[in-house]
């Protein structure tokens, strides 16, 4: 085999290994957020690297099931959650 091909294969394998490793160890926080908006209530669980990102993701996911349109989405995502429960990370 050509030396350049071997170096290229090693580089690609190392890159793939790094991507897999880094994507599997990113979620340090896991939260369940319940949101009430216009008479509907939805709860969703999200995981993320920071507490704020986990909260925002869970609330956004819950709102995505209840609303449509930019205005309703923004109002729902800025509403106070009805409950926030921090869970153990898996």
Predicted confidence (pLDDT) per residue in 27-82, tens digit? 789 999 999 999 999 999 998 889 999 999 999 999 999 998 999 999 999 999 99
Helices (H) and strands (E) in the chain, counts: 3, 3
Q: In sequence order, what are the residues at sequence separation of 6 or more whose Cβ sits closer than 8 angstroms to the Cβ of residue 75? A: 37, 67
Would residue 11 count as lying in a domain?
Answer: no
Pairing of strands 40-48, 29-37: antiparallel
3-state secondary structure at position 6: helix
Q: How many domains does the chain have?
A: 1
Q: What is the pTM of this model?
A: 0.70
Would residue 12 count as lying in a domain?
Answer: no
Would residue 52 count as lying in a domain?
Answer: yes
Would residue 7 count as lying in a domain?
Answer: no
The domain containing residue 59 runs over which residues? 29-87
Q: What is the pLDDT of residue 25?
A: 61
Q: In terms of pLDDT, which residue wins out, 4 or 45?
A: 45
Closest CA to 31 of 39, 43, 41, 40: 43
Indicate if the pLDDT at residue 20 is higher than 90.
no
């Amino acid at each position: 085999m050509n030396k350049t091909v071997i170096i290229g294969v090693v580089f690609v394998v190392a890159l793939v290994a790094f991507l897999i490793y880094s994507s599997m160890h990113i979620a340090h926080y896991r939260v369940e957020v319940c949101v009430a908006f216009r008479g509907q209530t939805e709860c969703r669980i999200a995981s993320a690297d920071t507490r704020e990102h986990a909260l925002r993701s869970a609330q956004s996911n819950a709102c995505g099931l209840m609303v449509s349109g930019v205005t309703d989405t923004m109002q729902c995502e800025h509403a106070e959650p009805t409950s926030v429960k921090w869970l153990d990370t898996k």
